[in-house]
Structure 1
Amino acid sequence: MLAEAARKLPAGHWLAIGTALAIASPARAEPFLPALDPPSSLIDSASPDQGSGATPTPSGGPFALPSAADSGFTRLDAPDFPYSAIAPPPGLPGRSWNITPSLGVQFLATDNLDQSRRNKRADFVTSIIPGLLLSVDTSRIRGIINYAPNIQFHTAEGESNRVDQRLNGQVLVTVVPDAVFLDIRGASATQAASGGFASQGNVVVGRDNRVQTNSVQISPYFVHRFGGLGTLQIGYAFQAVSQDIGGNGFGSDTGNGAFTPGGQRFFADQDFTAHEFYAVGRTGENFGRLAFESRLASTSYDGTGVLDGAYRRIASLQARYAITRSVIALVEGGYEQQRYAGVPGIDISEPVWAVGGRVNFSPESWVTAKYGRRDGFNSATVDAVVGLGVRTQLFANYAERLTTGAQRAIDLLSTTTLDEFGNPVDAATGAPTAQPFSDSLLGVQSSLFRIRRGAISISQLWPRDRITLTLSREERRPVSVEVGTTAFSQRGTSASLTWSHELTPSMVAIGNVQYGRFTSPGTGRGDVFSASATLAAQLRPGLSAFAQYALTTRSDDFDSGRALQNVVLVGLRQTF
């Protein structure tokens, strides 16, 4: 069986598979709050407001860690490890530290490095990919860190040599049992600045079309339980994000940024630090069918562009009532203040509200939906995971929000956990997710946007096969523009199909096709089709190999005809 065979293979084998499929959902504009230990009441078992995940992303190449959904691995028993529980039970002895270093080498040949129609440049790229997978599960520390930088050497285009930082990490430290904790999270990834490329897969572009995003969040917090009455959590979060382009942009750029072929600047390097103070209180099981949750959060930004002097502040109270064990109603009210620099300046100071509910079909199958006002507009939010029989599972998400690209990087850290291989997992649905700052279908912009995104994915698992179909749609409308740049509305629709088949217990074949339509500041309107075939095998314990062929064809408004790119990848990885 595919899943059973996957469990028998060492992690090094799956490091060679680069077609991980990410189910998408937008990071919600909620304050950062490490999850409280859910009370044992009927109400909180519904937990309809635990975050909504992130947008889809390329896998980062055949040496990227695959998501649990694609590899056949199952995630950890705790649905949002390690943050569903505040700490292990007192007195539990330390269990394990696992350190798995690895070293990979990848050889890539392409006939069109930049996927250009008129200026085709062939290149041969050698990548050295050291890796470190650290997992810890003790009485005091729980977490996982996956670090795998990609060091690239170009034969023909030496100026494109670079190091792409790739990191996912989350660690929870128990300072004082059942009272004081330290939550540390970080992530790094890259994406094509211009947009117009396949949203998933190993996007091959030159250095001057690559944006590196790094984010980190450190939060000490205090928790106190008042028996069955409730729980109080108070904390502080330090946040930092940087987004840097790897070269001199596209047209006539004379500084760090990205330009349209006509010379309009749509992205400038971004960075910010933020200080967030927050508090959350929840009622406990003594309240029976009725539950309340209050939240206070204030975040101040010190950053560039629209985040210069910006802030988010919100106070809200949510009430939930269990009509039956399967149907829960909720209502929420509060007040928010938001400020952003840019043109025009944005100042929001008004009430917020929401009504909705949740339907539980089973412990693993449910739908949560809300409609209300947040971020200065009315919108809906939907999170769902539904079992369609024994072998088929459906994930769905929809939300709208007001945010910047840099803020989305931090919001991702607050709405996801990591599986045992360091891959992001949606804290609400348990679906594999990945960084919104590594999706290359739409371009990277540094202004403030209202973002609307929906996605649906259906996955079917057979003894030796897994088939996954994903559909997604994202729209971005500029609200406030960074001085010195131009902002563009964007939209993208994409579909992908992935089929993995176990040939032998130590060999897997994976096929992937994608199609997307987009509007992007760097490329205008267009469409992109990509297909890849990958063969990955375990040669001996700890040593894996892969071979992949990928084809991409795309068109846009700025040039006639279609660009065609062929890519051949081979590689080895040794785990120690």
Structure 2
Amino acid sequence: MSSRPSVFGLRSLKASVFSFGLLGSAVVSTSTAVAADWIFTPFVGIREAYTDNVLSTATNTESDFITTLNAGFTLDGIGNRLNILTSYDGAYDIYANTSDLNGFRHNLLGSANAELVQDHFFIDGQIAYTPEDLSTTGASSAIDRTLSNSQTQVLNYSISPYYLQRFGGTAVGIARYRFSQLRFDETDVGGAVDNPGNETTNEVNLILESGRNFSRTSWSLEAFGVDTVVEDGDDLKRGTFVASGQYSINRNVALLGITGYDEFDGENIDNDDISGAFIGAGVRLTPGPRTDLSLGYGYRYGGGIWNMDFSYIVSSAAILTASYVVDVGTGGQAYTNRDVLDEDGELVNTNFSNSDFVGTTTKYETFDVGIRGTRGLNGYSAGATYEKRDFLTANTNDETVSFFGFYSRELSPKLGLSVDGSWSKIIEPETPGEAETTIRAGAALNYRFGDNFTGSLAYNYYDRNADIAADNIKENVISVSLNKSF
């Protein structure tokens, strides 16, 4: 649930949230906050693609040519008290034979942080507005394009002002309010989609943690309340108090401890089963400057849970990370609690998922492992994810496992090669008999014709193999694209 959880599900102190209109009006009123270096880069592009399954059907497949016109921009604002990173890509797909699929797609990602009162008052925010397939059944494609059904335009945004106070070297206090919303809108093409209900969340968070005077011992006290309203769904209220600490035995070993109380008030669930006191203990190992492992076990949410966080710096240009976390929340909170910036500070889509969107209160168990880095002219990343979801309203569950990989190489100063692929499988479907396996693969040659002018020749493959034959889809796509930025 949380983008960067700590031991036993205690959430990160760093929230990342954004609403451009509200945040923009706030920073404009503070002249020093807008003293930033702005880099605005508009671009235009065109893509010509051939698909052998334009309607994403299991049988009687049809081919078509698709012309995509796109335009957009990236905006970077970097300053002492203001940081903004955003990108927008608007595309219009034109089908040679299947003209009823002609339509627009919008992809907007953004993140911002502003310091309104020096050292004390800040505001964070983020936004993601993207077309998504919220169901693993229905139409899907090897490339981004308009579809005949199942596609939804998802708006996921949040804004979070907070106040920070340092009490000398003894403690640091943070008082934060966070507003987030997840909305599901119809696209302008394709069949009608039964969208989930929109979700609105208000959250108050109070934190007091140890200051610089504590060397061998560190501690944190946190109290937060969450109120999520789901249209035509199950609302969820939550109040939690957490006390956690770390005691360093030596430079390589530290003991971890946590205790607190959860109180859930959700509709159509057994609140007593997941509410109550919790406790846990663990160990943090740092055998060297490149390795950091935290491992713990405790009792929370009505049962025993593990928690793990691991990082290993393979080299100056590569890092290996892994985590295992358990949390409880609504289906929408699984999206709004994700960070739109990755570990490298790059924008990523927070609305994508390998599993169906389920808008009920859910207990999540998630394991992630990944490696990323560069070596000479090569760049690479790979990883795996396992997720188990217990749907507390229906007393059902599902399990999904997925793997991904990416590789790029600079063949010459102007020519580059990239290859990517992913494999995901619903190994335990919520409804028996609806398991499926999905494979995606692609390769591209990218050529730089001149400054800010690039071209690409790409091949993409998609294969969904489901227990229900009508949900099977295979598609091959060949495309050529040109892009010019200014």
Report the TM-score, using the length of structure 1 for normalisation: 0.72
Partner of 1:239: 180
What is the deviation of 1:389?
5.3
Q: Percent identity?
A: 20
Partner of 1:474: 387
Partner of 2:29: none
* Mapping for residues 500-539 of structure 1, pairs under 5 Å: 500-518=408-426, 524-539=434-449
Partner of 2:325: 399
Choose between structure 1 and 2 for higher RCO, CA contacts under 8 A separated by at least 6 residues.
1
Q: Which letter maps to 1:330?
A: L
Q: Which letter maps to 1:517?
A: K
* Mapping for residues 266-281 of structure 1, pairs under 5 Å: 268-281=195-208
Candidates 205, 217, 227, aligned match of 2:168: 227
The Cα offsets for residues 442-468 of structure 1, whole Å up to 9 and x where unpaired, read as 222222332222232234632122343
What is the deviation of 1:178?
0.9
Distance 1:478 1:121, change over 3 A: farther
What is the deviation of 1:392?
5.2
Partner of 1:464: 377
Is 1:129 paired with 2:75? no
**How far, CA to CA, are the matches of 2:182 and 2:356 in structure 1?**
18
Partner of 1:289: 216
The Cα offsets for residues 460-504 of structure 1, whole Å up to 9 and x where unpaired, read as 6321223433232222232114xxxxx964322223333212111
Partner of 1:368: 294
Is the deviation greater in 276-285 or in 194-203?
Answer: 194-203
Q: Which letter maps to 2:267?
A: A
Provide the secondary structure at the position in 2 that maps to 1:409. helix
Q: Which letter maps to 1:497?
A: G
Q: Is the 8 A contact 2:425 2:438 kept in 1?
A: yes
Is 1:332 paired with 2:246? no
What is the deviation of 1:101?
1.7
Q: Is the 8 A contact 2:218 2:246 kept in 1?
A: yes
Candidates 2, 7, 14, aligned match of 1:34: 14
Candidates 143, 166, 181, aligned match of 1:202: 143
Partner of 1:408: 334
Gaps of 5+ in 2: 17-31
The Cα offsets for residues 238-293 of structure 1, whole Å up to 9 and x where unpaired, read as 2111134548998xxxx641xxxxxxxxxx42212222111111111212211111
The Cα offsets for residues 359-395 of structure 1, whole Å up to 9 and x where unpaired, read as 2345553222232234444322222221345665322
Paired residue total: 465
Partner of 2:308: 382
Partner of 1:558: 468
Provide the secondary structure at the position in 1 that maps to 2:335. helix
**How far, CA to CA, are the matches of 2:61 and 2:140 in structure 1?**
22
Distance 1:386 1:32, change over 3 A: closer
Q: Which letter maps to 2:477?
A: V
**How far, CA to CA, are the matches of 2:139 and 2:252 in structure 1?**
40
**How far, CA to CA, are the matches of 2:33 and 2:59 in structure 1?**
64
Q: Which letter maps to 2:420?
A: N
Whose strand fraction is larger, Structure 1's or Structure 2's? 2
**How far, CA to CA, are the matches of 1:329 and 1:494 in structure 2?**
33
The Cα offsets for residues 95-130 of structure 1, whole Å up to 9 and x where unpaired, read as 522212222222222111344221423233333332
What is the deviation of 1:549?
0.7
**How far, CA to CA, are the matches of 1:200 and 1:118 in structure 2?**
15
Partner of 1:70: none
* Mapping for residues 298-447 of structure 1, pairs under 5 Å: 298-308=225-235, 310-342=236-268, 344=269, 346=271, 348-388=274-314, 393-413=319-339, 416=341, 419=344, 422-424=346-348, 434-435=349-350, 437-439=351-353, 441-447=354-360
What is the deviation of 1:408?
1.4
Q: Which letter maps to 2:364?
A: I
Partner of 1:567: 477
Q: Which letter maps to 1:479?
A: L
Distance 1:111 1:529, change over 3 A: same
What is the deviation of 1:173?
1.4
Is 1:542 paired with 2:455? no
Distance 1:207 1:174, change over 3 A: farther
**How far, CA to CA, are the matches of 2:57 and 2:49 in structure 1?**
18
Provide the secondary structure at the position in 2 that maps to 1:524. coil
Is 1:163 paired with 2:71? no
What is the deviation of 1:563?
4.0
What is the deviation of 1:191?
2.8
**How far, CA to CA, are the matches of 1:470 and 1:135 in structure 2?**
29
Distance 1:359 1:164, change over 3 A: farther
RMSD: 3.4
Q: Is the 8 A contact 2:105 2:146 kept in 1?
A: no
Distance 1:25 1:190, change over 3 A: farther
Partner of 2:24: none
What is the deviation of 1:558?
1.4
Q: Is the 8 A contact 1:191 1:211 kept in 2?
A: yes
Distance 1:199 1:359, change over 3 A: farther
What is the deviation of 1:226?
1.1
Q: Which letter maps to 1:147?
A: Y
Q: Is the 8 A contact 1:332 1:354 kept in 2?
A: yes
**How far, CA to CA, are the matches of 2:138 and 2:442 in structure 1?**
14
The Cα offsets for residues 508-546 of structure 1, whole Å up to 9 and x where unpaired, read as 101223333225579922223332211112111111111
Gaps of 5+ in 1: 1-23, 36-50, 52-90, 258-267, 425-433, 482-486
